[in-house]
């Protein structure tokens, strides 16, 4: 399958007056055409900064320190803002968490969608307007012709998110980055939006990066998952493997922290002790080691390479090493070169 995006050894830091905050610490992954990749992690895990790095939107004092972001073979990190603007909103577009703050309140919805369309095409105003109506209809907004004249405050949260999706899709992007698009919404509205995104993806065939902290949402929509913690990838896998037999203690911990709605009877939750790391002084070694119940000496000193559990599952944990003690639930296997893991996932 054709690779649409390859992220190689990406490092993104914020240089604050308190020191360097290493938000993303050497991560690599790739995306094939039609993939819906979930990036899951808690606050401060680096999931949002990863997505902002892809589209070149990391603001001062942050910057991409090293690594490459190859979009159809072109390294986006090497491009100027002007050159990047050809991609943004056209081939790569983004949906943000808060639908109210990502639309301009003083312009009509129509105005804003038409602007996006015309910025990247040679359509005239009337053609762009027709396209905008078509888009609003596509995302399920009733009476799109009249709604074009409405202002953002006249829409509910769910409707605004639909408008943002319409905007993001306006130029048939090849890659759509959705940063917590349903987090600010109520569950019944979240179900509507997820349903809409699933249908649109099937119809338009765009690849999607879906960022969320909710394992439930990932299971609903993604086919591949990256689990991030402390700026690093802990585990990456296809969706079935990850939920069936998670191979990183952090992934396992996350899954035990949430109640299972289907199991019928209540079980006491098993929380992960401690709190997330301070990225100003990240722990040397595996970022999860201070909270990990299996932590060994090596974990505190050196972060683990990715171990190849199967051709579609990789975990960065020393427990998979042949020399590590045997722990139930963890498969013994060989570490891989990062390059090799990229090829597969």
Partner 1 sequence: MIKKEPLLEVRNLKKHFYLGGRGSKKKVLTAVDGLNFVIYKGETFGLVGESGCGKTTTGRTIIRLYKPTDGEILFEGVDLSALNEKQLFPFRKKIQMIFQDPYASLNTRMTVTDIIGEGIETHHLFSGKEKQERIYHLLETVGLKREHASRYPHEFSGGQRQRIGIARALAVNPELIICDEPISALDVSIQAQVVNMLEDLQNEFGLTYLFIAHDLSMVRQISDRIGVMYLGKLMEVTTSDELYDNPYHPYTKSLLSSIPIPDPRSTMRESRIILQGDVGNPINPKPGCRFAPRCIYAKDRCRSEDPELVEIKPGHFTACHFVKEINDI
**Structure token digits, residue 280:** 């100003």
Q: Helix, strand, or coil here: 165?
A: helix
In the set 78, 86, 260, 281, which binds partner 1 (CB under 8 A)?
A: 260
CA distance to 160, 197, 276, per residue, from 138 (Å)? 14, 11, 41
Q: Of 204-223, which residues contact partner 1 (CB under 8 A)? A: 213-220
Check: CB of residue 298 under 8 Å from CB of residue 232.
no
| Residue 254 binds partner 1 (CB under 8 A) | yes
In the set 255, 295, 331, 336, which binds partner 1 (CB under 8 A)?
A: 255
Site string for partner 1, 25-44 (x = CB under 8 A): -----------------xx-
Q: What is the rounded distance in angstroms from the CA atom of residue 322 to the CA atom of residue 242?
A: 21
DSSP string, 316-342: --GGGSTTSPP-TT-----B--HHHHH
Q: What is the rounded distance in angstroms from the CA atom of residue 54 to the CA atom of residue 145?
A: 35
Check: CB of residue 139 under 8 Å from CB of residue 162.
yes
Task: Tell me the window of 97-105, 169-177, 199-207, 263-271 that interacts with partner 1 (CB under 8 A).
Answer: 263-271
DSSP state at residue 169: H
Q: E-strand spans in 180-231? A: 207-212, 224-229
Minimum distance from residue 154 beta carbon to partner 1 (Å) = 12
- 143 burial class (0-12, 13-18, 19+ CB within 10 angstroms)? exposed
Site string for partner 1, 186-205 (x = CB under 8 A): xxxxxxx-xx----------
Minimum distance from residue 243 beta carbon to partner 1 (Å) = 5
Minimum distance from residue 71 beta carbon to partner 1 (Å) = 28
Residue 315 host element (H or E): strand 313-315
Q: What is the rounded distance in angstroms from the CA atom of residue 47 to the CA atom of residue 29?
A: 13
| Residue 280 binds partner 1 (CB under 8 A) | no
Task: Tell me the window of 119-127, 144-152, 199-207, 259-267 that interacts with partner 1 (CB under 8 A).
Answer: 259-267
Task: Tell me the window of 111-119, 124-132, 173-181, 185-193 that interacts with partner 1 (CB under 8 A).
Answer: 185-193
Pick 276 or 282: Cβ nearer partner 1: 276
Pick 117 or 178: Cβ nearer partner 1: 178
Binding site for partner 1 (CB under 8 A): 42-43, 156, 158-159, 186-192, 194-195, 213-220, 239-240, 243-244, 253-262, 264-266, 268-273, 275-276
């Amino acid at each position: 399958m054709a690779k649409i995006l390859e992220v190689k050894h990406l490092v993104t830091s914020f240089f604050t007056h308190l020191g360097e905050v290493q938000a993303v610490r050497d991560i690599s992954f790739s995306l094939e055409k039609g993939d819906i990749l979930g990036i899951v992690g808690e606050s401060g895990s680096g999931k949002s900064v990863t997505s902002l790095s892809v589209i070149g939107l990391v603001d001062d004092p942050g910057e991409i320190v090293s690594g490459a972001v190859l979009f159809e073979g072109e390294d986006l990190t090497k491009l100027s803002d002007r050159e990047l603007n050809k991609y943004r909103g056209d081939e790569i577009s983004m949906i943000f968490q808060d639908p109210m703050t990502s639309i301009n309140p003083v312009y009509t919805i129509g105005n804003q969608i038409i602007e996006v369309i015309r910025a990247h095409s040679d359509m005239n105003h009337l053609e762009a307007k027709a396209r905008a109506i078509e888009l609003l209809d596509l995302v399920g907004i009733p009476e799109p012709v009249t709604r074009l004249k409405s202002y953002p405050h006249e829409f509910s949260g769910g409707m605004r998110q639909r408008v943002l999706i319409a905007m993001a899709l306006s130029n048939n992007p090849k890659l759509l980055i959705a940063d917590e698009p349903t987090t600010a919404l109520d569950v019944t509205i979240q179900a509507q939006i997820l349903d809409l995104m699933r249908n649109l993806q099937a119809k338009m065939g765009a690849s999607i990066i879906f960022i969320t902290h909710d394992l439930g949402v990932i299971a609903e929509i993604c086919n591949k998952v990256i689990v991030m913690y402390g700026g690093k990838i802990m585990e990456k896998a296809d969706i079935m493997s990850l939920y069936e037999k998670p191979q990183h203690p952090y992934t396992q911990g996350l899954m035990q922290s949430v109640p299972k709605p289907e199991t019928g009877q209540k079980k006491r939750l098993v929380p992960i002790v401690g709190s997330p790391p301070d990225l100003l002084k990240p722990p040397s070694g595996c970022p999860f080691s201070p909270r990990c119940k299996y932590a060994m000496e090596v974990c505190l000193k050196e972060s683990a390479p990715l171990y190849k559990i199967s051709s579609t599952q990789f975990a960065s944990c020393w427990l998979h090493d042949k020399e590590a003690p045997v722990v139930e639930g963890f498969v013994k296997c060989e570490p891989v070169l990062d390059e090799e893991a990229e090829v597969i996932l």
